[in-house]
Amino acid sequence: MKALDQKVNIVPVLAKADSLTPKEICNMKAKILTEIDKFKIKIFQVQECDPENEDLFKQQTVEIKRSIPFAVIGSNTVAERNGRRVRARVYPWGIVEVENPSQSDFVHLRNMSIRKDMQDLIHTVQPTICCMRTIV
């Protein structure tokens, strides 16, 4: 990551968060942030809000910053939950919803990358084509 941080925006993501307990997620997030700081890896910084922005936008920014690194759940399965269809992982003991903020940071990651900071993500990188693999 250190070799890439000058060329691409690094957004730390903890994948398959449904395989960890909430305490393990907190511990992993703290460890990831410690390692990023220790090795002086430059990650994408969420931009501050203008003072004129509405409170909802300011609250979203705070939640996004608090969620880094993002603990996400992915699924290509659609399940029925309380009369609505949701993308989720279905287990014998229950359903884990991809877009449920109490179960995954996916919504915060999506809001940052597509809705709030897309232009900043585009404009703050060197014009480079890069392919990355998941490092486990």
* Tens of pLDDT, residues 19-60: 899 999 999 999 999 999 999 988 877 777 666 667 777 777
What are the two backbone dihedrals, phi and then psi, of residue 81, each rounded to the nearest 5 degrees? Answer: -145, 115
pTM for the whole structure: 0.73
The pLDDT value recorded for residue 45 is: 79
For the chain, domains (ranges, CATH) are: 13-123 (3.40.50.300)
What is the bridge-based pairing of β-strands 78-81 and 84-91?
antiparallel
**pLDDT, mean over the chain:** 80
Is residue 12 within 8 A of residue 70, CB to CB? The reply is yes
Is-cis flag, bond preceding 69, omega within 30? yes
Residue with tokens 């942030």: 33
User: Cβ(68)–Cβ(10) under 8 Å?
Assistant: no
- CA nearest 133: which of 7, 15, 54? 15
User: C-alpha angle 14/93/90, rounded to 5°?
Assistant: 60
Residue 129 has pLDDT above 80, yes or no: no
Q: Is the pLDDT of residue 78 over 60?
A: yes
Cα 60 to Cα 92: distance, rounded to the nearest angstrom: 33
Please state the rounded mean pLDDT for residues 86-115. 86
Percent of the chain with pLDDT over 70: 79
Q: Report which of residues 124 and 93 the model is more confident about.
A: 93
